A = this chain, B = another copy of it.
Amino acid sequence: MARPIFVTFAAGSTGPWTIDSITPVVGSWTLAEASHLAVFENVRASGAAAWALRGVTSNERYVTTSERAALTAVQEDLGRPEATSAALIPIRKTDAWWDLPQDTRRAILEERSHHIATGLDYLPAIARRLHHSRELAEPFDFLTWFEFAPSATADFDSLLTRLRATEEWTYVDREVDIRLSR
């Protein structure tokens, strides 16, 4: 887990994932239509792409020791055979968010918005991996990739609805919701 994984999400006419929809959620920024998505790890994606978003896994920024234990007890890895549905949710947060001290960001994220606890409610059905993009001069700050069985789609929508209603989300100024299947 310690070593960062450099991930490129490349949309185009080929790739193992079919793009079912691309929907702007916050702000007017969106991504060009494309039929397929490929996910490259630790390689420079080559060839023509409609668009490509890059991110890197990193150390946890907010999760405490006890929260880590609760998460690792139940969370599943990416790549489960039954997880044929996926979502890629790029978001950007405001300058006001990034200017807050660590303790204030933590309080908003968890004590007041329950981001970690809410995610825990949907484990192990929904697997996720967070990628950081802010330090890569990308158009988004985070790319979160989710995988789940098609039967968990309503649960996944519920998770997003709950997160988007939080105080934390008032600091999100750009969000796109990309749904995929394979």
Contact = CB atoms under 8 A, between A and B. Distances in A.
Interface in A27-81: 56, 58-65, 67-68
Interface range on chain A (Cβ under 8 Å from partner): 20 to 34
Given A101-B60, A101-B63, A137 B4 contact: yes
B132 A6 contact: no
A73 B58 CA distance: 31
Nearest to A64: B103
A135 B4 contact: yes
A104 interface: yes
Scoring A58, A59, A132, A137 by chain B CB atoms within 10 A of each residue's CB, the highest score goes to A59
A95 B3 contact: yes
Contact of A61 (B2, B65, B102): B102
